[in-house]
Amino acid sequence: MARVVAAGVPVWRMYIGLQLIHPQLQAMGYLWRRGQPVQSIPRAFGIQFTTAYIGSPIQEVREQGRSVRYRLDVLTDEHHLVLHEVKAEGGTDYFSLPMHIRRDGPMPVVAFVTDAAEGFSETDVADLTRLVDMMGAVTEMHIEHSVADTIANTYLGRQVGQRILNGAIRRGDGEEIRAVLWFSDLRDFTGLNERLQPSEVLELLNNYFQLVGNALAAHGGEILKFVGDGVMAYFPAEDALFLPMVTAGALNAARQVIGDIEAANEARAAGGAELVRFGIGLHVGTVTFGNVGTEDRLDFTVIGSAVNRASRLEGLTKALGVQVCASADFNEVCAQPMKSLGTHRLRGVPKPVEIFTLPD
């Protein structure tokens, strides 16, 4: 916009609103003021039902598909609050118009404000209209990139999503990595499905997943996938020297989940709701990280005996009466002290293995 101002168009303020495909946001606004950096303004779901949007020039432009213009020195009480706010900041003339792009869905809306006493001239309005037309192709590219990035990160996780976007999309593409594997699962999920309404099960699952996801993200882990009521996650350890830190991060995440779910269970008990019970299995090993599936339908996942071990360890938590079961391999590289539970058999593993848990 600095170049537009330098060309003689007296723009003081510009706003562009873009509809998103995003799990938390409905739209994103970008606000530029002369002499200031661009400000990003996230718009949560439901913004269209608030007074900030209803009756605003943005709604008028988007729903009627035409430009609007308001001289701010002749506003009345009937005009929308945003126009009065812009006037109070020094604006004199407000011009907003739709940006026509090929993408389906709500169109982007652009608004310009000047603080020049005489407002925008007709030539200024024509220049700004041409500018928005020229911006359309670039904006559409930005939207497409944002959608691809959001979908990849939402459904695959940030690290895996970026691998896919960077080209790791062929069946059989993969690499071996060393990682801490996490598998957590709700207990008695079948019983919960029988006793609760579907909406209650969905709410319980989402709350549980959120607490697990928060803990993993806070300590360096990333969710690979949800498997029914289970969470498969990993903590990458590119170098064995980092394993003490990575395993510590996994244990800290487990402690956070335990504490957060205990707090959530207190609230659930007070409301007469079912308590959440769960187990966590932790193992460390080498896995293959890559694409499996058919030629035209792929899944990016981790494969290897280490993944199976983490799942089997989680399955042992209920029998041993603990919330965390970790392998001897995990304990060997973990700097934090753990408590041995003795040797036990894991399904599919030929010999008994020593199991560890959090200390008392």
Tell me, what CATH number does 102's domain have? 3.30.450.40
Query: End-to-end distance of the chain based on CA atoms, in angstroms?
Result: 61
- In this structure, the answer to whether residues 137 and 193 fall within a common structural domain is no
Say which range, 22-31, 204-213, 255-264, has the weakest mean pLDDT: 22-31
**In the chain, % of residues over pLDDT 90:** 54
- pLDDT value at 240 more than 90: no
Tell me the C-alpha distance between 96 and 111, whole Å: 4
Q: Which of 138, 156, 174 is the last residue of a domain?
A: 156
- In this structure, the answer to whether residues 117 and 184 fall within a common structural domain is no
Q: Which of 156, 177, 209 is the last residue of a domain?
A: 156
Tell me the C-alpha distance between 60 and 55, whole Å: 7
Q: What is the mean pLDDT of the chain?
A: 89
* DSSP string over 171-203: TT-EEEEEEEEEEEEETTHHHHHHHS-HHHHHH
- Average pLDDT on 161-174 reads 72
- In this structure, the answer to whether residues 214 and 340 fall within a common structural domain is yes
- Average pLDDT on 15-44 reads 88
Beta bridge mates, 53: none
- In this structure, the answer to whether residues 175 and 152 fall within a common structural domain is no
Contact 256, 218 (CB under 8 A): yes
- In this structure, the answer to whether residues 267 and 305 fall within a common structural domain is yes
Both structure tokens of 213 = 């996801």
Which pLDDT value is given to residue 109? 94
Q: List CB contacts of 254: < 8 A, sequence separation 6 or more.
A: 215, 280, 282, 323, 324, 358
Tell me the C-alpha distance between 290 and 302, whole Å: 6
- In this structure, the answer to whether residues 197 and 246 fall within a common structural domain is yes
Which pLDDT value is given to residue 155? 76
Both structure tokens of 182 = 């996490």
- In this structure, the answer to whether residues 151 and 232 fall within a common structural domain is no
Greater model confidence, 352 or 5: 352
- In this structure, the answer to whether residues 149 and 205 fall within a common structural domain is no
- In this structure, the answer to whether residues 190 and 149 fall within a common structural domain is no
Q: Which of 156, 185, 214 is the last residue of a domain?
A: 156
Tell me the C-alpha distance between 356 and 260, whole Å: 22
Which pLDDT value is given to residue 225? 87
- In this structure, the answer to whether residues 211 and 325 fall within a common structural domain is yes
CATH code of residue 265: 3.30.70.1230
pTM, 2 dp? 0.71
Residue with tokens 């769960």, as numbered in its chain: 278
| Dihedral over Cα of 251, 257, 263, 268: its sign | negative
**In the chain, % of residues over pLDDT 70:** 99
Confidence of residue 303 (pLDDT cuts 50, 70, 90): confident
- Per the structure, the complete domain to which residue 294 belongs is given by 164-357
Provide the domain count of the chain.
2
Which pLDDT value is given to residue 231? 93
Which pLDDT value is given to residue 142? 82
Q: Give the model confidence (pLDDT) of 58-96 as tens digits.
A: 999 999 999 999 999 999 999 999 999 999 999 999 999
- pLDDT value at 160 more than 80: no
